[in-house]
Amino acid sequence: MKCYNCDAELSEKDYCTACGADVSKYKKIIYMSHSFYNDGLEKANVRDLSGAVISLKQSLKFDKTNVEARNLLGLVYFETGDVVGALTEWVISKNFRAKKNLADDYIEAVQSNPARLDTINQSIKKYNLALHYCHQDSKDLAVIQLKKVVAQNPRLLQARLLLALLFLESEQYGKARRELKKVLQIDAGNTQAKTYLKYADQMQDVGEDGKNQSQGRNRKNDELRAAEGSVTYQSGNEIIIQPADLHEPRGASSLLNILIGLVIGVAVSYFLILPARIQSARNSMNEELKTISDNADTKTTRITELEQSVEALEQERDQLQSVIDDYTGAGGETQKNDALYQAAKDYLDNPEDTQAVGEALYLNIDKDYVDSFASDPYRQLYYKLMAIVGPGISENLFESGKSSMTGNDYAGAIEALEKAWYFSQSLPEPDTEILYELGNAYQLAGEADKARSTYQSIISSYPESTTAAKASDRIGEEGTTAAASANSEADGGGDLQNAAAENEGNAENEGEAENEDDVRETDDNDAETRDVTQAAQ
């Protein structure tokens, strides 16, 4: 015996010599468990299995880790046909003692015979079906199922007890006694079987010696019936009284009786046995259909779960692919890094060729990305390169843009000035003259909205610069020109209305009205010429 606290071996003392824990009550509990185990073992040896179950359960109440008691309880269950209960006890026993446990051998012996296991499962299903028939008051069908059960699993005592009970209810005491005696052969101490057997003996007047006590009482009646010319005999539970001078019919009457018996037998088979078989077949078919349906539902659920899992994995894959494309695809992080590193390498290889370095920066690097999303080392390298190559390139492009404007090549001027501003705006002190000239180029090219936006950028971003005032004047000139154009259009409309009125009212003044319209048209043309001149300036 080991200490419950430190797992050391205990001595005869009431305390543990290793840890000092009080083990007096613990020892009493263990002794009680062993005592009940010994009692259960003795009862099992004399086939008092019901008493053995009670003692072994008491043993496990005191010590649930008593592996020997639990293994023996499993054996008792197995002997009474309760294989499920036996396997349950042996599995629990294995959890308490994983090695050197007889439960391993018991479980292996049961599982090594799949055919036997299948037979046991079928017998349990039929036993449950018989219980269902009993609840439905279909006792004949229940008897049929129970006979199949005891044929497949003769040691299933619960099935034999239920079959005996049904025989007792139908007053078939002889059959009930046979089933109960088979139960007592397996479990000599089964009190339920003894109770049923006592009831059957009372109803059949059978004494302890197994002889029918009613024979002596009925002997006198038999003698009287013999004197009256009749013969009495017993067939099972029935007493048959037959006249003494009764002779068996012969010839045609005998053949007729045989035919009548055959007809009655066929009728009984058709009306009693066949419906029961049909019902049993239907129940079996329904059970199989239910099993197939349950399996189909389980597989459908599993398929749905797998499809959802596949869909989730595909979405995750697409997301990861999108992230990879953001890094390695066109315009991704990797390409942007490679472009900047290539520009830096070009400068290191040939510091004099700043034009090529600047062209690489302009074409391959997005300044918005540099300012908003790039890392600090990336941003520092970019502005370092721009500080080296930007001033010279922006100045050359600025001169090229002004030359294009002089030659009225506004599209070329816009392209050169936009590129010049790209390099200049990255410098510590951007040249706002480039941006101002870009606005002028937009205005001369007829892109008034872009021109106005460019001027507004100068005013809002560089309010202290000298070009901010010029940009403001440009915006004011655009407003004045627009107002003048609107007034000119309004005057022209009024003159047309006056001319129409004069033509309708007085034909004589038609020449004067035409002269007046020519004068006003000349004034409008002069105003438009002035606007274009101001825009060019």
Confidence at residue 247, expressed as pLDDT on a 0 to 100 scale: 52
pTM of the entire structure?
Answer: 0.38
Q: Is 13:3 a contact under the CB 8 Å cutoff?
A: no
Confidence at residue 387, expressed as pLDDT on a 0 to 100 scale: 77
Confidence at residue 38, expressed as pLDDT on a 0 to 100 scale: 92
DSSP letter string over 479-499?
Answer: HHHHHHHHHHHHHHHHHHHHH
> What beta strand segments (E) does 263-386 contain?
none
Confidence at residue 232, expressed as pLDDT on a 0 to 100 scale: 56
Indicate the residue type of 227: A
Q: Is 475:457 a contact under the CB 8 Å cutoff?
A: no
d(CA 160, CA 147): 9
Confidence at residue 5, expressed as pLDDT on a 0 to 100 scale: 60
Confidence at residue 231, expressed as pLDDT on a 0 to 100 scale: 55
**Which residues have CB under 8 Å from 354's CB, separation 6+?**
347, 388, 389, 392, 393
Confidence at residue 18, expressed as pLDDT on a 0 to 100 scale: 65
Q: How many CB atoms lie within 10 A of CB 171?
A: 11
How high is the mean pLDDT in each 10-residue block of the chain (537 residues)? Answer: 66 67 75 88 88 89 88 89 88 89 87 85 88 89 90 86 89 88 87 88 62 47 50 55 54 78 82 80 87 85 88 86 63 68 75 72 71 77 77 82 86 85 80 85 87 87 83 74 46 39 40 40 38 33
Q: How many CB atoms lie within 10 A of CB 458?
A: 24
